[in-house]
A and B are shown apart, each in its own frame.
Chain A
């Protein structure tokens, strides 16, 4: 019985983390899936959101900027605003770059952000990070504290899902798809392509900031290592592409599926005999990589394909004939 309860609690943790990743993936879906913006700097917006809420909600400390004492809800709102502003700035500079170039530029910018967080110790406590970030529902006893957090995350994902589905079907969403498929035609139709792209970039950036803020509250601690590109950018990409880019349901599903594989693989690996010690951890990463290759080859268009308004010729960027 205790074991069942334990597995239930782990499931709560798993879904909370998967749900937070789903927020990031939904944000990325606005960039890549809807608009075709290859943003490889998810970690940057994630970090801005996480640090913003950490600074405005954590208690005063001589180690970092803080002591504003806002509630987590206000912190999350501030996180979204801060990342939206930064996304606007980055978008103004980089938005006209084509797909792969935008990717590398955003990757570089995210790394520069991370260096700033590490080096501007007066504000961020540098590599030591910000601790004691309040967590919603933490005053309740286990398991209600964890369940409360999970419900909050589910609610956020659900609201975002509904709103984004509406946006996708709205004229705005159709124009975005048009820009992605054929920029010249959209331009010819009198659309201000750059402005619309920046709008999408800002919206997606704000969601990534929200994801970062949720993560900061969930783990109650944030440091630059938490925003390194593997687990805060590439993993989100894997989730979106596996789930099916351009499809919000796919984005959410991909996030939860990949996070489950990433996390639960360790439970299997822990069954290996102790002689394997550190090797088992390497093996886990290997298996995760292998599982990813398998899914990519089995579902090259993602598990959920994009639902199009009408039959479109092909996926973006395809240059070679099938």
Chain B
């Protein structure tokens, strides 16, 4: 039982909160700008590398430079939006998807040009856990990651419910036509969307990098589970994305638990398939997702 907590549930929670942060950005761009942004994974990578450079430049803890890294990432993404998405915004959405694919290639190769393709990390070495009650193993870094993720999600929640910009975003995600009729400034909403999505993506990248290491394909490797999480939660539903991220993270880890007998339930070779299988199942039986998102 305690093994279940230590090695399946807690890692699942950590992974899930990272997915959740990433998925918020995907679901917002999907809900408001109407396209699946393939460059979102690269935003995470960019965030992690910016934080790495800032941390090595200032010598501070990665979490101390996190706000700055989020700001820089958001700024970079705004620049990319201005250059590559805005000119296409009034065409068909498929063009935007293809443009985001092109952007994904560009950002990744830029990251590789600047920082190289080799592994780097915030702090080398391993970290030993606190052992509670002689059995429960809790890692300080996991506590920091989960707590920071919760703080960021709360901040996102407050932004969406308490501020004008947030309300406008939710209105746009719910019904763009209606939102426009009520006189919401579309471009401003889009601006906020990118800032929120990119900031959270940068945080997700930094958290993952802090837990493991940084390399140029960090974000791309997360892209599909994050899409699955956004979809699971329902498109345009930030809370859904949070829940979806947690569910996908947990299910991926729990799928290899020896539920029956002593072998893993799902052979680990198929572990990545679990997220996709859930995603497909959700799409087929409940396309609006857990939180009744938009169905286009």
B277 closest partner in A (C-beta): A112
- 25 contacts across the A-B interface (CB closer than 8 A): A32-B94, A38-B94, A98-B287, A99-B296, A107-B224, A108-B228, A111-B272, A112-B280, A115-B270, A119-B267, A119-B270, A234-B38, A282-B110, A282-B112, A283-B109, A292-B98, A292-B101, A296-B99, A300-B95, A315-B92, A317-B92, A317-B93, A318-B91, A320-B90, A320-B176
CB distance from B252 to the nearest CB of A (A): 13
Q: Is B254 an interface residue (CB 8 A)?
A: no
Contact with A along B86-109 (1 / 0, CB 8 A): 011111111101110111111011
CA distance A238 to B94 in the complex (A): 10
B291 CB, min distance to chain A CBs, angstroms: 15
Q: Cβ of B113 and Cβ of A282 under 8 Å apart?
A: yes
Indicate if B170 sits at the interface (CB-CB under 8 A). no
Q: Provide the bound-state CA to CA distance between A241 and B90, in Å.
A: 16
In the complex, what distance in Å separates the CA atom of A38 from the CA atom of B283? 14
Tell me the interface secondary structure of chain B in the complex: helix
Q: In whole angstroms, what is the CA distance A21 to B267 when docked?
A: 34
Q: Known A-B contacts: A109-B276, A319-B34. Give 17 more (CB < 8 A).
A: A93-B280, A105-B284, A107-B224, A111-B224, A111-B272, A111-B273, A112-B277, A119-B270, A237-B101, A238-B101, A293-B84, A296-B98, A296-B99, A317-B34, A317-B93, A317-B94, A318-B91
Complex contacts, B90 vs chain A, CB 8 Å: 320-322
Residues facing B in A98-130 (CB within 8 A) are 98-101, 103-105, 107-109, 111-112, 115, 118-119
Interface residues of A in 302-322 (CB under 8 A from B): 314-322
Residues A286 and B98 in contact in the complex (CB < 8 Å), given A94-B283, A101-B295, A296-B88 = no
B214 at the interface (CB under 8 A from A): no
- The smallest beta-carbon distance between A63 and chain B, in angstroms, is 18
* A159: interface (CB < 8 Å): no
In the complex, what residue of chain A is closest to B108 when comparing beta carbons? A285
Binding site for A on B (CB under 8 A): 30, 34-36, 38, 83-84, 87-95, 97-99, 101-106, 108-110, 112-113, 117, 176, 224, 227-228, 231, 235, 267, 269-270, 272-273, 275-277, 279-280, 283-284, 287, 295-296
Distance of B295 from chain A, by nearest CB (Å): 6
Q: Which of B92, B117, B296 contacts A100 (CB 8 A)?
A: B296
Closest to B112 in A: A282
Contacts of A285 in B (CB 8 A): 105-106, 108-109
Q: Please state if A282 and B109 are interface contacts (CB–CB under 8 Å).
A: yes
Q: Which residues of B contact A89 (CB under 8 A)?
A: none
Whether, in the assembled complex, A288 has its beta carbon less than 8 Å from a beta carbon of chain B, the answer is yes
Q: Determine if A219 is an interface residue (Cβ-Cβ < 8 Å).
A: no
Please tell me if the beta carbons of A111 and B102 are within 8 angstroms of each other in the complex.
no
Contact with B along A267-289 (1 / 0, CB 8 A): 00000000000110011111011
CA of A99 to CA of B87 in the docked complex: distance in angstroms? 23
* Residues in B neighbouring A322, C-beta threshold 8 A: 90
The closest CB in chain A to the CB of B270 belongs to A115
Q: How distant is the Cα of A115 from the Cα of B227 in the complex, in angstroms?
A: 18
Q: How far is the CB of B107 from chain A (nearest CB, A)?
A: 8
Select one of A101, A279, A293, A296 contacting B283, CB under 8 A.
A101
Instruction: Collect the chain A residues with CB atoms within 8 Å of residue B110's CB.
Output: 282, 286
Which B-chain residue is minimally distant from A114 (CB atoms)? Answer: B273
List of B residues within 8 angstroms of A279 by Cβ? 112-113
Asked if A139 is at the interface (CB within 8 A of a chain B CB), the reply is no
- Cα A318 to Cα B176 in complex, Å, equals 12
Residue of A nearest to B296 (CB): A98
Q: Which residues of B contact A321 (CB under 8 A)?
A: 90
Of the residues B98, B113, B270, contact of A241 by C-beta under 8 Å: B98
Known interface pairs A98-B295, A108-B228; A234-B101 also in contact (CB < 8 Å): yes
Kindly identify which residue among A278, A296, A316, A319 contacts B176, using a CB–CB cutoff of 8 Å: A319
